[in-house]
Amino acid sequence: MEVWQLWGVFAVILFVIEMFTPALFFLNLALAAVAMAIIAYFVQLSGAWQVTLFAVLSVPLLVFLRPFLLNLRDSKDTTGLEATYYGKEAKVTEKITDNSGRITIFGEAWDARTNDGIEIEAGETVVIKNRKDLTMIVSKKGE
């Protein structure tokens, strides 16, 4: 196996590690390894120079690219359940307490709870505030 192929295999391993530890750390190292594979394909360097160049490529990626990627990942845009349900009104189908209750929204039935100790009777309208696992946390409409 040639040196550039070893760098490619190393890059794939780093990408796989990143998939299991989404810290956006190993991604930067994987990108540096890809760059090293390309460099090693065209230029013959000793092992010490290759490792040094890998380190030199990794540092700017970690210093500049990682914070940028972390900001993208932690953006305030909501998706999934948050975007679809939070702040929306739902109908109470079973009396809601701190320990039990059901709501319907968009034709779907969900378990629901209150966090403020108030009981909400069936037939009332509630607003979804949050969730815990697959249980919606709600409050009375207007509160």
CB 134 within 8 A of CB 126: no
Q: Read off the pLDDT of each residue in 22-48 and give the average, rounded to a whole number.
A: 92
Q: Is the domain of 61 the same as that of 98? A: no
Q: Virtual CA dihedral for 22, 24, 28, 34, nearest 10 degrees? A: 30
- Checking if the pLDDT of 50 tops 60, the result is yes
What 3-state DSSP class applies to 86? coil
Rg (C-alpha) for the chain, rounded Å, is 26
d(CA 28, CA 135) in angstroms, rounded, equals 37
Query: How sure is the predictor about 51, in pLDDT bands with cuts at 50, 70 and 90?
Result: very high
Q: Which of 73, 93, 119 is the last residue of a domain?
A: 73
pTM value surpassing 0.75: no
pLDDT per residue as tens digits for the range 63-108: 998 888 888 776 565 556 667 788 899 999 999 988 899 999 998 9
The domain in which residue 106 lies consists of: 80-140
Q: Which of 56, 73, 90 is the last residue of a domain?
A: 73
User: Average model confidence (pLDDT) for the chain?
Assistant: 89
Q: What is the domain count for the chain? A: 2
